[in-house]
Amino acid sequence: MLSLAFCGLKFDSPIVLLSGCVGFGEEYTRVEGFSNKDAGAIVLKGTTREPRLGNPPHRVYETPMGMLNAIGLQNPGVEQVVTRILPTLDFSETRFIANVCGSTIEDYVEVTRRFDDSPIDAIEINISCPNIKEGGVQFGNYPEMSARVVAACRAVTKKPLITKLSPNQTDIRENARYCIEAGSDALAVINTVMGMAIDIHARRPVIGNVQGGLSGPAIKPIALLKVHQVYEVASRHNVPIIGQGGICSAQDALEFLIAGASAVGVGTALFYDPLVCKKINDGIAAYLQRHKLGSVADLVGTSSSHSTLAQRSQAC
């Protein structure tokens, strides 16, 4: 009932654990009661061509109904990830997705090429990281640049490509279309929203990088709208969406599925409830049984038909 096909991969659950929230897949194995089988896929921490130390502190700050983070893509570099970390992961339990980051198109290409020669199941292109000073936002907020990154990565891998879209742009639908036409097999909607916090006593920004990415329940209405908008484009090309942004419960997940997501990403919620995935899975399964639906796929995008009817009624 909860299983689904996503870009040719079998997910046992519609839940995807989001990049940056579970390290390189090994962190949550230490939490008693947690099982990788509760997630259909796990997205590994953002990986760059060379090792990165990340941003100066403070790098994380709790906000009302959310969290600001500006880690700055701290990671050991792609060679270490492929040769030392991937061999420790159990690919029989769940699917693992690499998260590729870069400061130049050449960086994206080289990291993608290296992951292509690895057991990783799919590759997520992070063109929308809001807390690094180079690359990231610049690539993700301009459709033509986004398409160039996707096309370059597409040329060096046959693995499924998932493009992570930024909410910090004028028209996310146009960006989605460009990325699909450039060869993206799926879309992750959305990345974090840019924000900041002020220390009124020191009279300076709390985050060392000044700005960070806001995640958590505070951004859920924004993320839902973006998923709904992108679904208008993606559904025409049979391109699936991972809907993400503030999902903390089964109801949240169901809303994203109905808005057009084929799978749902869980991230910030894991920090205060590491076992939330099982609760979400149980809630989705109960909803499907209650409404006599055979699978998660029966829910995907079902809000769109109602939206179309409403628009026609208003036009009349």
> Which residues are catalytically annotated?
129
Check: CB of residue 268 under 8 Å from CB of residue 66.
yes
Residue 220 CA: distances (Å) to CA of 46, 159, 214, 249: 22, 30, 11, 12
DSSP H or E run through 225: helix 220-234
**What is the DSSP track for 256-287?**
HHHHT-SEEEE-THHHH-TTHHHHHHHHHHHH
Query: For residue 249, which of 284, 286, 298, 214 has the smallest C-alpha distance?
Result: 284
Nearest one of 223, 101, 108 to 167, comparing CA atoms: 223
Closest CA relative to residue 98, chosen from 43, 58, 152, 52: 43
